[in-house]
Structure 1
Amino acid sequence: MIRNNIKDILYETKWHENISKAMEHGACTKIDDLCKKIAIISKQIEFVDKENPSICFIREMQFSLHQAAALIGISLYKASVASLRTFVESFLYYSYFRNHNEELKTLLRVDDYYVSKSSIIEYHNFHTFKFKERSKIFSFESLLNEWYSKSSAIIHGQIPGDWNTHFSLLQINHSDTLLNSSIDNMEKSVSLVIKAILSTMSDENWFSITFESKREITKGIDKRKLLSAERVII
C-alpha cells in the first residue's frame, strides 16, 4: 500500500503502542522523579528571583524537560537529546542573563547576538563568587563539556543512524536499549543542572530556598562535597 501524504502516515504510526511499552518498562516512574526534582527547584528559583526577567529561561528549562519526556515516551529518542540540551542550556542562559538584563534586551532585539556556553562559563569563572571552587568540587565543567560533546554528536548526526530505531516514520518503534540510554541521558542532564545551581547560585538565594527543597535536589550528592562547597542544608 502506497501512502501519499504525511497525514495517513502519522495516523498509522503506533504512537500509543510505543507509549504503552515505555510505561511497562517502568520509565514513567524514573521520568516523574526527575521532573519533580526540577519542578521543586524551579519553583524556588521563581520565588527568590521573581522580579528578574531572566526567569523566562527557567520556564523554558521546565518545558524542554517535559518535551523530552514526551519524546522518549513516543520513541523519538534522538529528538529527546535535543530537548535535553535545550533544558541544560536554558539554565546556563538564566545563570548569565539574571545579571545581564541589558544583554537580555539585546538578545530579543538583535538576531546576530549570541552568548555561547563557553562564554557563560568564562563569565562565572571570573565573576561568580566561589564558582571555580564549587565547580571543581562537583566536577561541573568537566562533566558539562563531556555531556555537551556527546549530545552535539548525536544531534548533528555525526554517526548516521545512531539513536534511531527506524528508517521511515511508520517504523518508529520502542527500543529497551534506547529507552535506557534516553533515561540515563535525562538523569545526567538533570544532574548537570543541579550541579550548575550548586556552583552558580548566590549564597543569599541558597539560604532563601526551603530546607525541604534543598534536601530534595541534593539527594544522592556526597555530603562531604556539599559541606566543602558551603551548600549546607539548613
Structure 2
Amino acid sequence: MTPRTAPLVSLLLSSLLLAGCAGPAGSPTAAPGPGKGSPTASAAATPQATAGGHHHAAASAPRKTPDGPSEAAKMVCGDQPMDRLTAILHLQQDPHTVNSWADSTFTCTYHLTDGALNIAVQEAPDQAQALTYFNAGQALAKNATPIQGLANLGFPAYETADGTAVFQKDSFILTVDASDLPATIGPDAVTRNALAYQLSTTILACWVEHH
C-alpha cells in the first residue's frame, strides 16, 4: 500500500468502524465433517480440503495452535458479522451457527434457508507465510479475480466467480464463502459476491478496530 493510498484506505475503514464492532462469540464447538458447504474454497482453509468445486494441491499446513483460535479469529462468529448479515438479507431472526477449530483454521457456518454461508480464518505462523498461503490459494482457485484499487482496502484480496472473497491481513487469511447460496439472495437480490465482500469488509473493520 503506497503512502498516497493509505489515507483513503483509512477513510474507508473508519467509515466501516462507525457501526462499532462486537466482541467474539464463545468457544468453538464440534462441527460436521467437510462437505460442499465447508469453508475450504480457498487458501483460508487447509490446502488438502475441497469445497464449492475448488480443488487444491497438497501444501505445508500452517503451524497448529493447540490453545485454540485467537480472539480476532472468533470475531467472524460474533455479533457484528451477524448483525451485518441479517441487515443485508432482511432476516427476521439470527440464523443458526456452528463453529469449529481444526488445522489452524477457525470456521463459522451460518445456516441460512437457502444454504450455508461459511466464514473461515486461517492463522499462519507469521505474515510472510500467510501471504504464501494466500498466493497459493489464489493461483489454484477456479476463476479467481484480484480485488484491486480501493476495494481491497490495502490488503491482498481476490474473489471467485461462485461467490467467495478472500483477504490476507497480517498472519490471517479470511475467507467468506457464499458458493453454497443461490446466485442472488434476499429481497434485494444481493449477489453472492456482493454478500461475501460486504461481510469481509465488516470483519476487516473489526480487526482494525481491535488491533
TM-score normalised by L of structure 1: 0.24
Q: Which has the higher strand share?
A: 2
Which protein has greater RCO, CA pairs closer than 8 Å, 6+ apart?
Answer: 1
Name the structure with the higher helix share. Answer: 1
